[in-house]
Amino acid sequence: MLTLCSSDKSREFWDTRSRTDYALLRREVARWTDQSVATLQDALDDADWDMFRRSTDVVSEFTGAVVGFIGKLVDNTIPRTTIKKFPNQKPWVDKTIREALNSRITIAYNAGIISGNTDEYKSAAYGVRRAVREAKRRYGRKLETQFQQSGSRSLWQGLRMITDCGSPPSGLMSADESLANKLNTFFTRFEATSSSANASSANANSTSANGTIGANNGACAEPTIEQRPLIITDSDVRNVFKRVNTRKAAGPYGICGRVLKACANQLAPVFTDIFNLSLTLGIVPSSFK
């Protein structure tokens, strides 16, 4: 019969967490390989972006169709796998230890039961202990590297490894598009007022008191830098996509940074059209809010 020592009983007494806190965690992640990225790039090269542009004149619908198509290609091209994390899993446990436990001890134990010879099982158990020592050394060197680096990100990452304290996944507070439109209207009210005031003052200055054109005699003035429309080129978008930080979470449009960085050459033309159309119409697509 299994008995508990005093320390175990004290731990059970003071541990107020429920059983759900110790549940097995499953997380689905994408497996990015060179082959899968090349397949995704080929699929985006063959995409007919003009078809989406001709299908609608609304910038939000055009953007939504493009973003949805890219997400569908990513789901069909990039394989995904489920990672299991046990509540009592040590931070130094990696693939080598799990393989040693499954392939060495289990097979050696079953063979020892059949043959009656436990020498192979003992050697396999020693191999597992040796793998654990090596894994602990690798984990220690990894922590030292985290603290020796000068970046704040590596420092906090090392502290999270030691304390085993991970930030909970954050979700969207609200996905309502009307809230985004209200916030845009609220924060741009000053710009709208100033632009209308500048336009009225410019019209008043261009017309004299008797209603005739002023000193320019009807000739159109050269537009200033502020009046010239902003035009975004493919190279601008491509350079921005190639500098995307892949560690950051995806935006409201749902395209992860790895896709934008790996497929910058394929996605730059269509997103250039979206950005220029949005600037021309003065409308932000709902997928970007």
- Reduced 3-state DSSP string for the chain: CCCCCHHHHHHHHHCCCCHHHHCCEEEEEECCCHHHHHHHHHHHHCCCHHHHHHHCCCHHHHHHHHHHHHHHHHHHHCCEEEEEECCCCCCCCCHHHHHHHHHHHHHHHHHHHHHCCCHHHHHHHHHHHHHHHHHHHHHHHHHHHHHHCCCHHHHHHHHHHHHCCCCCCCCCCCCCHHHHHHHHHHHCHHHHHHHHHHHHHHHHHHECCCCCECCCCCCCCCCCCCCCCCCCCHHHHHHHHHCCCCCCCCCCCCCCHHHHHHCHHHHHHHHHHHHHHHHHHCCCCHHHC
Compute the average pLDDT of residues 202-221.
Answer: 45
**Residue-level pLDDT at 124:** 75
- Ranked by mean pLDDT, the top range of 5-14, 112-121, 226-235, 245-254 is 245-254
Q: pLDDT tens digits for 177-193?
A: 677 778 778 877 776 55
Residue 170 in this model has a pLDDT that exceeds 70: no
Q: pLDDT tens digits for 7-48?
A: 443 344 334 444 445 567 788 888 889 999 999 999 999 999
Compute the average pLDDT of residues 239-256.
Answer: 87
**Residue-level pLDDT at 260:** 93
pTM of the model: 0.60
Q: What SS3 class is residue 137? A: helix
Better pLDDT: 266 or 184: 266
Distance CA 122, CA 109 (A): 9
Q: pLDDT tens digits for 66-112?
A: 999 999 999 999 998 888 777 777 778 877 787 777 766 677 767 76
Better pLDDT: 221 or 134: 134
**Residue-level pLDDT at 141:** 87
Q: What SS3 class is residue 28? A: strand
**Residue-level pLDDT at 119:** 75
**Residue-level pLDDT at 270:** 93
**In the chain, how many H helices and how many E strands?**
13, 2
**Residue-level pLDDT at 20:** 47
**Residue-level pLDDT at 8:** 42
